[in-house]
């Protein structure tokens, strides 16, 4: 192998190692889990659970305009079911955040959102997207979206 090829290989190796170490630093403080449970023949509940790393939080669905990005869910329309109301959430914590000049509601550690659906047939698949923003004491990550698919049997 000549000298130029050795330098090119070395440069490629260094770039690869650098790119790998940069990608390892991507923060993902929120992990989502999805499931569903039939309540009876005509109704089910879709569960959307966020497991949040220590020191991080996500925001409630009920945030006023001018605040942080609230957690929101959108569901792909289907002829198999209809949504019953909006996703329910447990009581969030609330604090005043100077950055936004307002009180904001948020969740730490974990939170389970629940969406009731009325079934038009016995089994279906519910598809949708959750948008959320994770923050800690010093930073907020850009809003993120996660697609989900849940089988209802």
Q: What is the pLDDT of residue 100?
A: 87
How does 83-104 read in b/e, with b if 16+ C-beta sit within 10 Å?
beeebebeebeeeeeeeeeeeb
Q: What angle do CA 37, 127, 31 make, to 5 degrees?
A: 80
Q: Tokens at residue 68, please?
A: 């942080």
Look at domain 29-152 and name its CATH class: mainly beta
The domains of the chain are located at 29-152
**What is the band of 153 on the pLDDT scale with cuts at 50, 70, 90?**
very high
What is the enclosing helix (H) or strand (E) of 86? Answer: strand 81-88
Per-residue pLDDT at 98: 87
Of 143, 148, 113, 115, which Cα lies nearest the Cα of 129? Answer: 148
pTM score, two decimals? Answer: 0.82
Q: Is the predicted pLDDT of residue 5 greater than 90, yes or no?
A: no
pLDDT in tens, 12-59: 544 444 444 444 568 999 999 999 999 999 999 999 999 999 999 999
Of 68, 77, 72, 112, nearest to 92 by C-alpha is 112
User: pLDDT tens digit string along 59-86?
Assistant: 999 999 999 999 999 999 999 999 999 9
């Amino acid at each position: 192998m000549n000298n130029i090829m050795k330098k090119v290989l070395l440069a490629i190796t260094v770039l690869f190692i650098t790119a790998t170490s940069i990608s390892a630093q991507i923060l993902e403080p929120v992990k989502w889990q999805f499931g569903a449970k039939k309540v009876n023949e005509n109704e089910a509940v879709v569960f959307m659970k966020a497991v949040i790393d220590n020191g991080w939080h996500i925001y409630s669905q009920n945030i006023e305009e001018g605040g942080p990005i609230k957690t929101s869910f959108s569901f792909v329309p289907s002829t198999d079911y209809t949504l019953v109301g909006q996703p329910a959430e447990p009581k969030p914590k609330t604090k005043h955040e100077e950055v936004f000049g307002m009180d904001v509601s948020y969740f730490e550690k974990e939170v389970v959102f629940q969406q009731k659906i009325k079934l038009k047939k016995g089994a279906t698949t519910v598809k949708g997207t959750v948008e959320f923003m994770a923050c800690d004491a010093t930073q907020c990550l850009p809003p993120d979206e996660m697609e989900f698919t849940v089988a209802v049997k």
